[in-house]
Amino acid sequence: MRFRHRAAAGFATLLLPLAGLVGLAAAPAQAASTATATFTKTSDWGTGFGGQWTVKNTGSAAISSWTVEWDFPSGTSVTSAWDADVTSAGNHWTAKNKSYNGTIAPGASVSFGFNGSGPGSPSNCTLNGGSCDGGPSVPGDNPPSAPGTPTASGITDTSVKLSWSAATDDKGVKNYDVLRDGKKVATVTTTSYSDTGLTAGTDYSYTVQARDTADQTGPVSGSVAVHTTGGGTNPPPTGDKVRLGYFTEWGIYGRNYNVKNLVTSGSASKITHINYAFGNVTGGKCAIGDSYADYDKAFTADQSVSGVADTWDQPLRGNFNQLRELKAKYPNIKVLWSFGGWTWSGGFGDAAKNPAAFAQSCYDLVHDPRWADVFDGIDIDWEYPNACGLSCDTSGAAAFKNVMSALRAKFGSSALVTAAVTADGSAGGKIEAADYAGAAQYINWYNVMTYDFFGAWDAQGPTAPHSPLTSYSGIPKAGFTTADAIAKYKAVGVPANKLLLGIGFYGRGWTGVTQDAPGGTATGPAAGTYEQGIEDYKVLKGSCPVTGTIAGTAYAHCGSNWWSYDTPATIATKMSWAKSQGLGGAFFWEFSGDTSNGELVSAIDSGLG
């Protein structure tokens, strides 16, 4: 359990240039009367924030260069920036284009971003010496407010009528963009719109945003869900057991695993829930993990669930919008935002000092109007309360219960509130370090991490399966099995139907091994694609096929390497055991380790019946 949930170093993608947005022949720099500059706060973690300026060419000729200037109040500053050269003189800040993004074609836009410290917001903005609102003399024109959440009426097989309350603006509202599943479908001057050409028996999500006379867009409204009449939907899995998979935000980078892969693999029709991993926990608050992956990355048509490419001006892109599109196609799927994980669990100590404030920050982030319709609840992955993981927590045995109680109180009875928890069933182990039984009254279920029991962090071995269902003769540590963990949770008072059994879609392995059976010595971790000692199932099934089974899981000895991993056959055994124990279902880490046709997800689905 030591190295699970490690984030890949994909965040540098945030710094990629926007050269692809421009490319027309250079023309003289234009005055601000033909361009606008708007500011958006993309994230906020208490002591700092992420910001983005967007420069749009509203004229008829190309702009060859741009300079945005603004003032920050004392105590607020830029700490790092990308896609612009940012300098300051006191509280006055200046951003000039890079060599690759100075030219902006008519109607196009370029954005640059920065991280800031302090609580302030920019003021007195100028663009190329003129007003940022595109006017000749009035600086600092604010964007319009969010319109009211739309209401839906007159729903038929193929149409719906939407209406909303008006937005406000200091210079006047010009029109409204109507967004279906995050993509603009119409621009209207009134506060109503009838959308037609829809598919019968299908779920849609609608929001609206206002534009002012300078063509600045304001924040997106709340969303309304619409289900057209007639038709049919993708059938959900049978039975009442939870089938939950983790989708990692960083999987879209090196692994090139997108939300659409859940559709093409057939997995989306065989699951009930998705945990989106991970949000950060810092400064006692929930925070964005990777803003580019979460809500900014533009997906092409072939990468998108809907088959429609993202546009530069749609209010929500990234994984969040892809999950929105997935839910429209598979309305039975619920999505939870998981916070913490191995890397970011160190922040829970501060969260436990003020659980109510932590819960409020999580609620505000999960219910941000830009993506509020995407998430059905929150998952807490604290590794580990009152025990040691990447760092050691000393919050006390009651801290976990207090945090879960505050989350339930804030999110309410209708939201999903869950937690990933230790599977250390040893005497005096991690299960005994926190009040998991007391916290159980506030959660829908626990994801019991019944994998990573053994691995090549013990470089010389002994070799042992990382996800044993039961004990066996020679197991390196008593209590490190699925059966022991589940039995201990039941013994302390956690209901069986609130426990989900965990499956790893990967193997753990050693090299320098000569012994076929478990218990052999080794010289270190076996080579892995992304990390030493770990490899996806989809690779191992061909590169190191199974040579034996022990304690309900499989192992493989090939050359000098020794691996353990679950297969469709061992998963079937584990699902049968989970049903015999009255468990609430199963979950797995994580989708991208499966084959392209989702054979492990299929094994979980069919095994749960």
The enclosing H or E element of 606 equals helix 599-608
Q: Which residues lie below 8 Å from residue 207, measured CB to CB, with a gap of 6+?
A: 150, 179, 182, 220, 221, 222, 223, 224, 315, 369
Contact 8, 98 (CB under 8 A): no
Query: Pairing state of beta strands 109-117 and 224-227?
Result: unpaired
Residue 119 to residues 51, 122, 125, 486, 526: CA-CA distances in angstroms? 12, 10, 18, 46, 48
Residue with tokens 């993990």: 289
Amino acid code (one letter) for 450: T
CB atoms within 10 A of CB 529: 10
The enclosing H or E element of 261 equals helix 260-264
Q: Is 69 a catalytic residue?
A: no
Q: How far apart are CA 101 and CA 243, in angstroms?
A: 46
Give CB contacts under 8 A, 24+ apart, made by 296-303. 296/42, 297/13, 297/252, 299/258, 299/260, 303/258, 303/260
CB atoms within 10 A of CB 320: 26
Residue tagged active-site, from 69, 249, 325, 383:
383
Sequence length of the chain is 609
Contact 231, 159 (CB under 8 A): no
CA geometry: angle 87, 92, 97, nearest 5 deg: 40
Active site (catalytic) residues: 383
